[in-house]
Amino acid sequence: MPGFYLHVPFCARKCPYCDFYSRPAGPALMDGYTDRAIAAMAPWAGLSVDTVYFGGGTPSLLGAERLGRLLGAIKERFSLSPGAEVTLEANPAGIEEDFFPQLRRAGFNRLSLGLQSSDPAELRFLGRAHSPQDAARAVGLAQKAGFSNISLDLMLGLPGGTKEKLGRSIAFAAGLSAAHISAYILKVEPGTPFSEQGVSLPDDDETAGQYLFAVEELARRGFPQYEISNFARPGFESRHNLVYWQGKEYLGIGPGAHSFLGGRRFYFPRDLEGFLQGAAPLDDGPGGSIEEFAMLNLRLARGLLLSDCEGKFGPAGAAAFSRIQQNARACPPHLLRQEPERLSFTPEGFLVSNALLVKVLEGL
């Protein structure tokens, strides 16, 4: 069953490393966006969806009333399966006491909070408005409101970062009883303030060391890795993100949101004004090739399965799987695990996954 993604393009201020599409907004713009996002759902009315994800940007900036209206409209227009996963990305800074109870009542059942680090100096470097205490307070308020499925984001590979600091951030996140942790490697994206300031990152060996440490440390604390950057207590893997990684279909609404539905890819451009004026999404060609399916599944720790390739593509899927296995034999064995009916990358393999993918998908 498809997933539904809503892109909320607003942030109180821009973090200097971020290249997601977002900008500051006042109440009138947020009202206009809410109305337009609801109207933009109309062409797909009746679609059955199993996961809903409000991402951004900072969706929590919309406030409980607009968020409730948006989720209400989604429930009205689409057929939301019972027990659907409904996630909201939220900023831990300045959460009001009644915010999370209102979200629970509206039907949200999962939160993703941008903790990033438990080190105040690292948070300042990242331009984040919250302190570690703000994050702990936000998680506590969410749990009090009944949210047990909470994901925290961490960042590694920061200038001056060490395994010790990272270990403390992991312990902090685990100590807050998170169910899921995402750990991303900081990158300096072109056009961001970090890029203009010439921020220099630790060398590849240091970052790789931190990544491999995080994989081990998170597993030790009960969060086995299930995707390149994602770790969860068993049963708390993000169902919405698994929709993407398992090559399933999804509908995305909002400026910058991408969709894969009915075998076609399409997207709303990163243009809030155009979106507000009712611009239709742009076609991005066909999707769902075996190559794409393999590439996405190889992001997962469980890897690519022969049974999935066969189930989705029939004999052509089995043939592609065997070609991939043949290509994989030429790759260094510490980077991937080859079993007769499964191929998966090791954590060392994930660190060089782009180069590995080029090799294993050759000739498809």
Long-range contacts of 96-102 (CB under 8 A, 24+ apart): 97/141, 98/64, 99/60, 99/64, 99/141, 100/141, 100/142, 100/144, 100/145, 100/147, 101/145, 101/146, 102/64, 102/65, 102/68
Q: Which one of 11, 106, 158, 170 is in contact with ligand SF4 (CB under 6 A)?
A: 11
- Number of C-alpha atoms within 13 angstroms, CB side, residue 329? 6
- Number of C-alpha atoms within 13 angstroms, CB side, residue 333? 2
CB of 200 to ligand SF4, least distance (A): 20
Site membership for ligand SF4, residue 18 (CB under 6 A): yes
Site membership for ligand SF4, residue 270 (CB under 6 A): no
CB of 254 to ligand SF4, least distance (A): 13
Residue number with CB closer to ligand SF4 (96 or 189):
189
Beta strand 180-185 pairing with 230-232: antiparallel
Identify residue 39 by its one-letter amino acid code.
A
CB of 78 to ligand SF4, least distance (A): 25
Site membership for ligand SF4, residue 151 (CB under 6 A): no
Cβ(74)–Cβ(41) under 8 Å? yes
CB of 42 to ligand SF4, least distance (A): 27
Q: Which residue in 359, 361, 263 sits closest to 304, CA to CA?
A: 361
Site membership for ligand SF4, residue 87 (CB under 6 A): no
Site membership for ligand SF4, residue 93 (CB under 6 A): no
Cβ(126)–Cβ(14) under 8 Å? no
Binding region for ligand SF4 (CB under 6 A) out of 10-18, 71-79, 190-198, 291-299:
10-18
Beta strand 79-90 pairing with 48-56: parallel
CB of 299 to ligand SF4, least distance (A): 21
Q: Which one of 6, 8, 15, 183 is in contact with ligand SF4 (CB under 6 A)?
A: 15
Q: Which one of 1, 14, 77, 143 is in contact with ligand SF4 (CB under 6 A)?
A: 14
Q: For 275, phi and psi rounded to 5 degrees?
A: -60, -45
| Alpha-carbon span 237 to 223, nearest angstrom | 10
CB of 207 to ligand SF4, least distance (A): 19
Binding region for ligand SF4 (CB under 6 A) out of 16-24, 186-194, 238-246, 276-284:
16-24
Site track 38-57 with ligand SF4 (rule: CB under 6 A), x = hit: ------------------xx
Site membership for ligand SF4, residue 208 (CB under 6 A): no
| Alpha-carbon span 79 to 75, nearest angstrom | 7
Cβ(188)–Cβ(182) under 8 Å? no
Site membership for ligand SF4, residue 163 (CB under 6 A): no
| Residues in contact with ligand SF4 by the rule CB under 6 A | 11, 14-15, 18, 20, 22, 56-58, 91, 114
